[in-house]
Amino acid sequence: MTSLDTFRMGLLDPGYPVPKGLENGTRQAAGNRYDVYRNNVTHSLIAALRTAFPLVYKILGGKSFDTLAPAFVRAHPPRSPLMMHYGAEFPQFLADMPELSKFGYLADCAKLDLAFRASYHAADTVPIDPTVLQSLPLDVLMQERMLLAASTRILRSNWPIFDIWRFNNVADAPKPTPQAQDVLITRPEFDPQPYLLPMGAAFWLNRLGMGDTFEQAYDAALAATPEFDLSKSLIVAFQSAAFCKVQGF
C-alpha cells in the first residue's frame, strides 16, 4: 500500500485512525492535523450536494439534509472532477432510506434537481420559430421530425412534482394535492424553467426526441393515452422553446 493509499483510507471514514507516517513540523504524529483534510473532503462534498439539490434541501431543511448528507458522500464520492455532475445516485439513496419512507416524493424531487442542473449546463441551441411550423400544411407538418433542445429534460412522476416545486419556489402557490404529474424543463436563455405537461405529452415528446415524425409520435401517444391532446401539448412545447429545429429547415 502506498503513502497515498494509506492517506485515502481515513478521508471519508471518521472512525479510521490517523494514518501512520504523517507528522507535524517537529516530527511528532500529525494528530488532528489530518482531520483538516478529512473535513475539507467531507464538507466540500456536502456543500456541493447542497448546491446541487436545492429543492430537496428546502423540503428537508438544512439540519436534516446535513444529517443525511455525510452518509451519501462517504458511500458515493464523485467519479469525475466535473462536480457539476455530482450526485446522480442521490435520488436512489433517498429512496432507499427507511427513515424517509413517508417522504416518497423526495427521490423524484432529487431527480427534478438533477434535471434542472443538467439543463443549466446543456449546450446552447436556437429554438425554432413556431410560425415556421404554423405556415406548413397539416399533411406536411405531420411528416416532419423535431429535434428537442439540448437543455430539454422530461421527468415523469407518480407524485405532484410540478406542484411541489411551485409550492417551494413560488409565493402563495397552492399546497400540492395527490396526483401524478409530468414536468418539462427547458432553458429559454440561461435559467431552466419547469412546465407542467398535459396527459400523454411526456410520452409524445420522448417519441419525438427519439426521431418519430409528428404523425408517428401522435399516433403512439394517442394509443398510450387516449386523453392525449395534441394542441395543448404543442402550446407547452412552443411556450417552453423545447423544439430547436425541424429537419430540412
Partner 1 sequence: MLDSTRQFDRLPNTPGVGYKPQHFKQLCDDPDPVEWIEVHAENYMGDGGRPRAQLAALSERFALSIHGVGLSIGGEMPLDVDHLKRLKALCDWAKPASFSEHLAWSTHGSEFLNDLLPLPYTPATLARVADHINQVQDTLSRKMLLENPSSYLVFAASTLSETDFIAEVVHKTSCGLLLDVNNVFISSVNLGISASHYIDAYPINHVHEIHVGGHDTQTDDSGAPLLIDTHGQPVDEPVWELLKYTLGKTGPKPVLVEWDNDVPDWPALQAETKRIAEVLAA
Residues that bind partner 1 (CB under 8 A): 2-5, 7-8, 11, 21-28, 30-34, 36-37, 40-41, 44-45, 48, 77-84, 120-124, 150-151, 187, 190-191
Other CB atoms within a 10 A radius of the CB of residue 197 amount to 24
User: Helix, strand or coil for residue 124?
Assistant: coil
Supply the minimum distance, in Å, between the C-beta of residue 242 and partner 1.
16
User: Residue 157, exposed/middle/buried by CB under 10 A (0-12, 13-18, 19+)?
Assistant: buried
Q: Which is nearer to partner 1, 19 or 136 (CB)?
A: 19
Supply the minimum distance, in Å, between the C-beta of residue 158 and partner 1.
30
Supply the minimum distance, in Å, between the C-beta of residue 244 and partner 1.
12
- Residues 11 and 16: their CA atoms lie apart, in Å, by 8
The position carrying cell 452518509 is: 71
Cβ-proximal residues to 27 (8 Å cutoff; 6+ apart), any chain: none
Q: Which is nearer to partner 1, 46 or 142 (CB)?
A: 46
3 state SS for 135-161: CCCHHHHCCCEEEECCCCEEEEECCCH
Q: Which is nearer to partner 1, 103 or 120 (CB)?
A: 120
Q: Which is nearer to partner 1, 35 or 229 (CB)?
A: 35
Q: Which is nearer to partner 1, 28 or 131 (CB)?
A: 28
- Identify whether the C-beta of residue 34 lies closer than 8 Å to the C-beta of residue 42: no
The position carrying cell 419556489 is: 169
Supply the minimum distance, in Å, between the C-beta of residue 81 and partner 1.
3
3 state SS for 44-70: HHHHHHHHHCHHHHHHHCHHHHHHHHH
Q: Which is nearer to partner 1, 93 or 214 (CB)?
A: 93
Supply the minimum distance, in Å, between the C-beta of residue 36 and partner 1.
5
Supply the minimum distance, in Å, between the C-beta of residue 111 and partner 1.
19
- Identify whether the C-beta of residue 73 lies closer than 8 Å to the C-beta of residue 42: yes
